[in-house]
Structure 1
Amino acid sequence: MTSQERPTPPADLDDDVAEALRLLEDSDAAHLRAVSTYLEALAAWTESASDDEPESDASVDETGDADGDVEYPADVPERASVTVKEIAGTTYHYYQWRDGDRIESKTVQR
């Protein structure tokens, strides 16, 4: 590409991203470099955030887990939301519910 040819965005972008790029096309170089720096940092953060999530993470709701067999401890209401996580081979059930203005929680190792 010569210095006279304007770069073209990838063809497989969704409409919202393509529109955002069209809005940036007439920006000055300093503005574009600032946006580029932000987007590189955002991409790095997105990659690191996805790396932090355990692969065996399974979220469930009040109706039960993936197998349909959530047992609520005696001091946890049935309306509590449940998140099941496996960490280093140990399964944990995280229960969370609202009690008036407070949010209550309990962790149970299975």
Structure 2
Amino acid sequence: MSDSLPTLPEEIPGSIAEKLTDQSPNVLRDIARYADEFAEHREREAQLTEWDGQDGQDEYVEAESDDFPDDVPSKATITVKDINDNRYYYWQWREGEKVKSKYKGPVGSER
């Protein structure tokens, strides 16, 4: 571990860096966790906007916290897809640059 101060990325405004210098290591770690979670939230919002613009046919349904299967992350949404005049529920989430999906069941069945 280096004794010198890390280099501030050009994208971060100096005013934010100034406020960080007054914080304890524990608070800085909390800020880092919050920033990471907030970035994921923003990415998810952007992805949902992208999905909305793809074909205008998909619908997104609010998932309840106890609905998630073990292999589906809690950030996933339930999407209604129209395929060959039938409607199906799918879990969808983002992993890096890829959008992952998992079949949930036909629309009309218990979500």
Q: Give me the TM-score of the superposition, normalised by structure 2.
A: 0.44
Q: Give me the TM-score of the superposition, normalised by structure 1.
A: 0.44
Give 1 or 2: higher helix fraction. Answer: 2
